[in-house]
Amino acid sequence: MHRLLADAFAAFLATLGLSAAAQPALTPEQLFERVSPSVWVVHTLDSERRPLMQGSAVVVGPGQLVTNCHVLRRARSVSVGRENMSFGATLEHPDTERDLCLLKVANFTVPAVTIAPADSLRAGARVYAIGAPRGLETTISDGLLSGIRRNAASAVEALQISVPISPGSSGGGLFDAQGRLIGITSAGLRDSQNLNFALPAEWIAEVPARAQAALSAKPAATATASTSTSSATASAGDRVFEYRLRERQTGVSQTVLLHLDRIEGGQRVFNRGERIERLDGGVVSVSKPVSGEFDLAMPPGGWVSGTPEPGSAWRLDYTVRHNDMVIRMELRARTSDTTTLNVGSRQIEVVRVLYNGFTHRVTGGHMINSSVYEATAWYAPALARVVRFDARARNQHIRIDEILELVDIRSE
């Protein structure tokens, strides 16, 4: 009832020609009461029903919620929930380039939020974020709209905010003092106090059309890639993949051999079961990390699987363990471009994926330290594998500067 009265009052003000700025600001309590029912928690599971990632989502239409696409990365099933309620969700429209995805939920009658006009944004205004940081659902925090970041064409491409953002906040709502949605909280920069970002809410209306355009362009791009890589397509006789792992500072290198033992159940088994990969390039398991940083810091499922779309971006927040070492990774991944690399006598088309973020490492129960982390993976769709991987991270405790390259493919 309160929501209906508020909407009616806003419409009445509009008929009088009053601007949104003339509407009274809500108290934080009033704002939370009005919009928090429209902010939900997103849960994702892999193909074996194991939890993958958790984020937030905002109701923007009948049975429709918006979240960050990186929250859905590698998900095989998605649900939205809060308190003791849960609903299955399906991906309706993905705009991976802008990291906004629309979810569809059947029999879902939660009211949608109101989206503020783009021209109402003012740097210095008080703003409020509602999401589920670290899984703590319907958490509200406040801060300032620190800056409106624009591209060379003067179009808004990010909202800089001082509101705290934590893992789980991705996909949550950023609201103005009138309780209108102005952005979708997306990312924060570590080691930079209160330097966080949200995606402009005005982009939400463009998601369906952009998703359709990307879908229409995909068959053409796939056909082009298939034609250009036909000479490099993996032969049935390819049984041995020889890599060279080199530590750049010392110049020390070693050979890493992957022997394909068999293909069964949609999986490729290497080195007597020490490494198992899916046919799309995803990694199922590695019991013996022989490829240096490529294996040690590898995300669940591998660095790249399938063929990422040009311009797509996603987030990787995960922890891996190797004996007494614990590696925590917080990365942002982005598909950069396509190029060709020579592997032996073959010229292979590859997709380049860039990774930037932070690594935190603990060994023997002692924190080594945290460091900025940069890596690049060159993925060959025709071979369904990464053919080159370059990783760098360095401070007084962590020194990573190595490259892994595929140098030969042969039958035995």
pLDDT recorded at residue 191 = 41
pLDDT recorded at residue 204 = 96
Q: Strands 181-188 and 139-150, how do they pair?
A: unpaired
Task: Summarize pLDDT for 184-208 with one digit per residue, the tens.
Answer: 998 654 444 556 889 999 999 999 9
Single-letter amino acid, residue 149: R
Whose CA is closest to 79, among 61, 91, 69?
91
Query: Mean of the per-residue pLDDT values for the chain?
Result: 84
Would you state the structure tokens that stand for residue 340, as one six-digit string?
A: 């060709």
Task: Summarize pLDDT for 50-76 with one digit per residue, the tens.
Answer: 888 889 999 999 999 999 998 888 888
Q: Model confidence at 1, in pLDDT bands (50, 70, 90)?
A: very low
On whether the pTM is more than 0.85, the answer is no
Query: What's the mean pLDDT in 162-179?
Result: 88
Q: Is it the case that residue 363 has pLDDT exceeding 80?
A: no
Query: What's the mean pLDDT in 377-393?
Result: 93
CB atoms within 10 A of CB 58: 28
**Which segments of 241-380 does DSSP mark as H helices, in order?**
293-296
Query: What's the mean pLDDT in 95-118?
Result: 93
Query: What's the mean pLDDT in 334-350?
Result: 88
pLDDT recorded at residue 64 = 97
Sheet strands side by side (includes 283-286): 283-286, 275-278, 267-270, 253-264, 240-247, 399-410, 385-394, 366-380, 346-363, 325-343, 313-322
pLDDT recorded at residue 33 = 95
pLDDT recorded at residue 5 = 44
Highest mean pLDDT among 19-33, 224-238, 263-277, 386-400: 263-277
Task: Summarize pLDDT for 204-228 with one digit per residue, the tens.
Answer: 999 999 988 877 765 554 444 444 4
pLDDT recorded at residue 136 = 72
Query: What's the mean pLDDT in 332-346?
Result: 88
Would you state the structure tokens that stand for residue 88, as one six-digit string?
A: 């299955």
pLDDT recorded at residue 155 = 86
Task: Summarize pLDDT for 137-156 with one digit per residue, the tens.
Answer: 788 999 999 999 888 788 88
Higher pLDDT, 190 or 269: 269
Q: Is it the case that residue 350 has pLDDT exceeding 80?
A: yes
Task: Summarize pLDDT for 314-327 with one digit per residue, the tens.
Answer: 888 888 888 778 89
pLDDT recorded at residue 194 = 56
Whose CA is closest to 243, among 386, 118, 102?
386
Percent of the chain surpassing pLDDT 90 = 47
Torsion of CA 7, 9, 15, 18, to 10 degrees: -110
Query: What's the mean pLDDT in 381-397?
Result: 87
Q: Is it the case that residue 235 has pLDDT exceeding 70?
A: no
Residue 206 DSSP SS3: helix
Residue 349's contacts (CB-CB under 8 Å, 6 or more residues apart) are 225, 228, 229, 232, 338, 339, 340, 380, 381, 382
Whose CA is closest to 331, among 167, 151, 88, 127?
167
Q: Is it the case that residue 234 has pLDDT exceeding 60?
A: no
Higher pLDDT, 363 or 67: 67
